[in-house]
Structure formats: C-alpha cells, structure tokens
Amino acid sequence: MTTQTIATTPFNDQKPGTSGLRKKVTTFQTAHYLENFVQSILNAANSIGATIVIGGDGRFYNDTAIQTIIKMCSANGVREVIIGQNGILSTPAASNLIRKHEAAGGFILSASHNPGGPNGDFGIKFNQANGGPAVEQLTEQFYNNSLNITEYRITDDPDIDLSEIGSAQSGHLNVTIIDAAADFVDLMSHLFDFDKIKNLFHSGSFRMRFDAMHAVTGPYAHALFEQIFGGLPHTVMNGTPLTDFGGGHPDPNQAHAKELIEILNSANAPCFGAASDGDGDRNLILGKHFYVSPSDSLAVIAANAYLIPGYSRGISGIARSMPTSQAADKVAEFLGVECYETPTGWKFFGNLLDDNKITLCGEESFGTGSDHVREKDGLWAVLFWLNLLAVKGESVQQIVEGHWKTFGRHYYTRHDYEAIPTESGNRIMQHLQDSLTTLPGQTIAGLAIESCDDFSYTDPVDNSVSEHQGIRILITGGSRIIFRLSGTGTEGATLRVYLERYEPNTAAVNQDVQVTLAKHIAAADEIARITELSGKSAPDVIT
C-alpha cells in the first residue's frame, strides 16, 4: 500500500447551509472533484481511528465513488468502514447503521429523487454521529475546507469486491460488508407488529402495490411485503434497482408516480398503495381511489401512534417543517404534547429528536419519520400504515375521513415554479419582503390577511438561529400561504408556494383540493406577482 498526497486546487461548489453536494455525474467525473469534497469532510470529521459508514442509492457512479472513498478513508487513518452489500444503502438504513455501530458518521451517495444515469445527477452528503445530516457548523467547515484545500490523500490499493458479505482489508483499513436489508428489517420488526401485518396479508381480501421506482428500496420491499408478509408475487413493482432508475424520476408524488396512482384509481384497485424515492427516505401513501397528503399522513400517524407497538407508550412531541400543514398541530393539542415548527429540511429535527422533545416528525414533501433513526424513512411510514390498517380493520379512506371528522381538515397543495431565472426568484422574494408591513389588514381575493412574517427559527436545544426560512402569510380562520425558494434545485431558482385552508366542518366544502383552494391560489399570485415576475402563468408541478 502506498499513500499518495495529491496536489489540488480549491473549489466552492457546495451551497453553504446544505449538508452535501449535488451535481451532474459529469461534474463529479472531473479530476479531483469528488476527492476534494471527501478530503474536506475527512479533515473536519475526526476521522482518524474512527468507524465510518458508506453506502448509496445505487445510481450511476455509486460504485466508482465508493472505491475512491474507501482508498481515501484508508489514507486518512480511518480504522473501519461499514458498507452495504454492493455499495447500496437506503438513506434511513445508513442512518441506522451509523447509530448502531456508534460510527463517527457516514458518507451517503445519493441525489435523492433526481434522475440518475451518466447524464443524470449524483450527490454526496455526510451524516454525523447521531445518524442525521451534518449540522450547519459542520457543513460550514466542509465548505471552508473546500475553499482552502491544496491536497488530498489516497492509497493506490486495488478495488474491494463489494458483492461478498464479510470482511476485507484495504491497507490498514478494515472493510466490513453487511446485508443492509437484514439490519433494517430487524429494526422494523421491533417497532411494528409483523404478525398482525402478516394476518392482514393472509386475510384474503387485502392486496397492496408498492412502487420501488427502480430505486434503492426494491430489495427491502421484496423481503418485507412478499417474503415476510406473504404478499402476492407482483406486490412490488419496479423492484429491481437500476443505475438510471429505468430512465424515470424516482420521486413518489402525483407527478412522478403516475403508474402506481393509475393502478390505485382503477376499477380493480388494491386496498393500499405506496412508493418510495431514489434513496428510500420519502413515501407516498394511497388508498383505493384515495390520496393521502403527507401533512395528513403525519397527523394520522401521530393520532394513532398509541396503537403501534413501538409507540404504544405515547409520543413526547411532534415536529413539522413550517410549510407542512397544521394538521399535526391539532393532534398535538389534543394529545397535550408540543408541536414544533421548524424550517424546511430534516436536519432541523435532529436536536429535537436527540433531546427527546419529539418522537414523530414530518414534512409536506413526502417525508415522515420518528426517533428510530435521524432521517426520514419511506418504508417505516409504509409499515406504520400497514400496521394501522391491520389494527383498525378500516380502509385508508375511512381512517383519513374519520380523522378529518375529529380534527377538521387542512386542505393543502404545493405549487412549484421550476427553473425560473435566479434573478426572477430573488425579485419575487424581495417583493414579498417589501410587502410584509403593508399586507396585514388587507383583503386579497376575498381572503383577510391577519399577519405575515419572514420565518426565523431558534433551535430550542442549542439556541442557534436560522433566518429567512420562508415568507409566511396567515389568513383569518387558520389558513396560510407560504413562499420560499428551493434549496435543492439544480437549475436556476424554484419557487415553492404552499397553500393551506382549514375547515372544521369538511362536509360543507367542495372536495376537489385545487377548487377548494382557488381563492388562495389567486391570492398567492396577486401577493407575490408570480405570473408577472416569473413569466409563468401556471406552476410546473402541483402536489
């Protein structure tokens, strides 16, 4: 083994405040690019003598990147790396492994739901010792290191065969290759009543479809829904992970999970449908001819947690990202626990989970999770719903409609204006900033604006402050309109508009969500001058 120190030049591609780097594969293929970022992380992450987890969602470049990271870990004095077989780990499974093995952290190779393949996207992020995405102090260090980097260290050892479970050696580095699905299934079996779920599958009338979108959850889903629970052979669709996700966009929502949604809306629909994204942290929940909004899903999960073995002792609190609907707040109020409102992004839940202030958390962007790991967890949410269906003996629709009857309904939709010029995105946000003092008291499109602000969050555990997290417009009666720019888009700016209307009595309202929110949609356009400033008369994606 020879360790080489290779001279390089600094780069500054990481967006400050984000936990990783997400770029085109072709960018990652340029000389020293991946290596610079990995070295910037290793320099900040106390890696000497440490154990580090490595795995990715299996997209194109996953295996090449992992071999590079192994050689760099070896050259930088890491003691052991734990890697999923074939280099594949879902994001929540990686989070679990970091916690279970008390690792110093983990490299997760994924661009989540972004398309893959040689012309698609690749990404890398670092999760810290609690299993969650690196906090801002750490990502600032990665960023600053990347601005100053002059060299990186790598060995010239041969590649490791990642297909065999067991131990290998790369120089002085111990390489442990594990069966990731087995570990994850074991964790799930301690949270959910697998026997009750098996009985549901064997009851004769129950059928489900799970769309793995040719992404990382395929093997986990085959093991759970078919082998363990005994679902029919075609329960899992698109279950073979492909390096380009079959050319698809592995994001489980109305825009990209059309095939599954059609099946659930067909005459012979199964009782339950679900999907997960590229790296397995997002989830979509469907009933027969019925869509469950992620905000409602979080609220239903919280209201029924006492029925599920892993949560039967009650929950300590709930957190939702600011744009997520306030449905969970109603449940928290009923349960007498706190509901925290955090900025967008899973990393803001980390301290609340570590401090046991919350048990459950979620985002409107198809993310739901609990204190079992420090990432959102797609399959966890699906298993929660399966366990709930098995216990309650009701359909998905009955469960959700029953919930609305008790707590009222938060009609909700998100409108995305994608890839608008960065300049236009900034002008819209600036215009909103400038309107904050004049909007309260006005009636726009028939809606009375009560107050508005630029959302700022003080972490209740470490008192860190995060400012400018979105413009929040509060309307009389508990409705809201929220505007923010995406932090994950890779082209220009993406404006996200979140629309929410609260109705205590759902029977009185037109059931089509877009129609029900028509005034809110009109008001949003008028308040933010979207059509005028973005040049788009309609959103690109509606979820």
Binding partner at 27 among ligand G1P, Zn ion, none, C-beta below 5 to 8 Å by kind? none
What are the Cα distances from residue 253, in Å, to 115, 181, 361?
A: 14, 24, 19
Q: Indicate which of ligand G1P, Zn ion, none lies near residue 279 (CB less than 5 to 8 Å, by partner kind).
A: Zn ion
Strand-pairing partners, residue 21, are 124
Joined tokens for residue 150: 């002059």
Q: Which residues of 470-484 are buried (b: 16+ CB within 10 A; e: fewer)?
A: bbbbbbeebbbbbbb
Q: Interhelix angle for 378-392 vs 180-191, to 10°?
A: 40
Least separation in angstroms between CB 104 and ligand G1P: 23
Q: Is position 377 an interface residue for Zn ion (rule: CB under 5 A)?
A: no
User: Which long-range CB contacts under 8 A does 403-406 form with residues at least 24 apart?
Assistant: 403/296, 403/299, 403/300, 403/303, 404/506, 405/506, 406/303
Least distance from C-beta 106 to ligand G1P, angstroms?
17
Catalytic residue among 110, 112, 170, 276: 112
User: Smallest Cα–Cα separation from 477: which of 409, 389, 391, 421?
Assistant: 409
Tell which positions 227-286 bind ligand G1P, by CB under 6 A. none
- Pick one of 397, 398, 488, 506: the residue that binds ligand G1P (CB under 6 A): 488
Q: How many residues bind Zn ion (CB under 5 A)?
A: 5
Token digits of residue 402: 């029953």
Written as six digits, the tokens of 389 are 């269906």
- Examine the residue annotation and report whether 112 is marked as an active-site residue of this protein: yes
CB 193 to ligand G1P: min, Å = 29
Q: Are 282 and 288 in contact (CB under 8 A)?
A: no
Considering CB distances under 5 to 8 angstroms, the limit depending on partner class, which of ligand G1P, Zn ion, none binds residue 459? none
C-alpha–C-alpha distance, residues 139 and 137, integer Å: 6
Residue with the CB atom nearest ligand G1P in the bound state: 486
Quick one: tokens of 435? 């309107």
365 binds, among ligand G1P, Zn ion, none (CB under 5 to 8 A by kind): ligand G1P
Q: Which alpha helices (H) appear in 373-497, and where do they start and end?
A: 378-392, 396-407, 422-435
Binder among 211, 251, 279, 375 for Zn ion (CB under 5 A): 279
Q: What is 280-329 written as a DSSP string?
A: S-BEEEEETTEEE-HHHHHHHHHHHGGGSGGGTT--SEEEEETTS-THHH
Among 47, 112, 325, 365, binds Zn ion (CB under 5 A): 112
Q: Pick one of 157, 193, 226, 281: the residue that binds Zn ion (CB under 5 A).
A: 281
Count of residues near ligand G1P by CB under 6 A: 13
Between 359 and 398, how does the x/- string for binding to ligand G1P read (CB under 6 A)?
----x-x-x-------------------------------
Which span (196-204, 275-283, 299-307, 316-324) binds Zn ion, by CB under 5 A? 275-283
Which CB atom, from 229 or from 455, has the smaller least distance to ligand G1P?
455
Catalytic residues: 112
Q: Which chain residues interact with ligand G1P by CB under 6 A? A: 112, 321, 344-346, 363, 365, 367, 486-489, 496
